[in-house]
Amino acid sequence: MSLVTVLYHDDFMLHSPEPYQHPENPARLRRVLEALRARSLEGRVQVREPREGNSSVFTSVHSPSYLKYVLSLGDQGVSWIDADTYVSPGTRKAVARLAGAADEAVSLALEGGKAFIAGRPPGHHAGIAGRALGAPTNGFCIVNTAALVARMLSARSKPVVVVDFDLHHGNGTQEIFWDDPNIIHIDIHQDPATIYPGVGFPEDLGTGEAKGTKVNIVTPPYSGDDIYMHALSVVRAIVEEVKPDYIVFSAGFDAYRGDNDFTVMNVGSRFYWEAGRTLSALAKGVVAVLEGGYGVGLERGLEAFMAGLTGLSEDPVGDRESASMESALRFYSRALARLKKALKEAGSPYWDVVEEPGLRPS
């Protein structure tokens, strides 16, 4: 069994849209805290308050002008960066606490431990200067904590692997590390032609010496457990090739079936449990950072993932697995073939482990 340290502070609740309604709100963390009290996690997780840090550390992944702008905007009350993304008077405090949590999580990972930053605002859509790779908005995100953690870890050991399994592509993370060969960014997400942020295609591989280190595994709407479990096998094969000391998870739970009104995926608990269990076993230290998830995914999906991180030998949630329709399987097979071809043409050593799914329709 591995003990996972959960870094949480009430300051993360201060980033708030009130009096406006918004899906990214403090109630999300109440769901997270409830999930962490599950019987399956008793004695396996410890919740600790991180110290307040210096927000300026985020300039290692964001431009100083963006960071100054986005933090000062909240001093005027609830303000909107764009149609999706708000800043509030409490955002500055929440970001400072995220900075402290990132520093503590890195220290734990360097000691061979596992940490989960149960914080907000989320960050994987936040790029160098906010909107990333031509996305229309910041997608609820302010600062990219997962990218900050990855950069801090890469200063001690290279390469670092970032695994993002949020429903949406982590375009901010990809932009930040687009030309950095020391960060292997592997992202499982819904077909960007059908969903925000509209980027993250199989041919998007990075540039220069980093070309081939950004891996986008595209899944179609209505993907079931079969597709997601196969996608996870591809991720694992790449991680086994890389042999990193450290893995950073951008842990979003909005692909969990029924998580919110906009989720069209059919992913159950086994994927999240296996992701936590099998991938964390391949690294010396692990840091997971909360990204998306707005409903039941933050309860059942998160419990399964955390159980996997602790090394629990079975999925405590135990959802019945679902199979995908034939049309979804055909799309996924084509997307994998595109990825394999692009990686091979780029001279990436990972192309050879991208295997055809061989899945059967329901």
The predicted-structure confidence for 227-279, as pLDDT tens digits, reads as follows 999 999 999 999 999 999 999 999 999 999 999 988 899 999 999 999 999 99
DSSP string, 55-67: GGGGGGTS-HHHH
- CA–CA separation, 344 and 340 (whole Å): 6
- Asked whether residue 361 is assigned to any structural domain, the reply reads no
Report residues of the chain scoring pLDDT below 50: none
Strand-pair category, 86-87 with 79-80: antiparallel
Does some domain include residue 281?
A: yes
pLDDT value of residue 266 = 95
d(CA 68, CA 35): 34
Q: What is the pLDDT at residue 47?
A: 98
Percent of residues in the chain assigned helix, strand, coil, to nearest 5: 40, 15, 45
Domain for residue 231, yes or no?
yes
Residue 357 is predicted with a pLDDT of 82
On whether residue 240 sits in a domain, the answer given is yes
Give the model's pLDDT for residue 360.
67
Q: Is there a catalytic annotation at residue 125?
A: yes
Tally of domains within the chain: 1
- At residue 262, the pLDDT reads 83
Which residues 6+ apart lie within 8 Å of 355 measured at CB? 233, 234, 237
Q: What is the DSSP letter of 287?
A: E
* pLDDT for res 358: 76
Structural domain contains residue 359 = no
Q: Is residue 93 part of a domain?
A: yes
Check residue 263 and give its pLDDT. 80
Quote the CA–CA distance of 118 and 37 in Å, as a whole number.
13
> What is the four-CA torsion angle of 332, 337, 338, 344, rounded to 10 degrees?
150
DSSP assignment, residue 11?
G
CA distance 148 to 31: 25
Q: What backbone phi and psi angles, to 5 degrees, belong to 310?
A: -80, -10
* Residue 11: closest CA among 107, 115, 108, 120: 120
What is the CATH number for 332? Answer: 3.40.800.20
Quick check: is 263 in a domain?
yes
Catalytic residue among 9, 15, 124, 125: 125
Tell whether 111 is covered by a domain.
yes
Domain of residue 150, residue span: 4-353
Interval 180-203: pLDDT, tens: 999 999 999 999 999 999 999 999
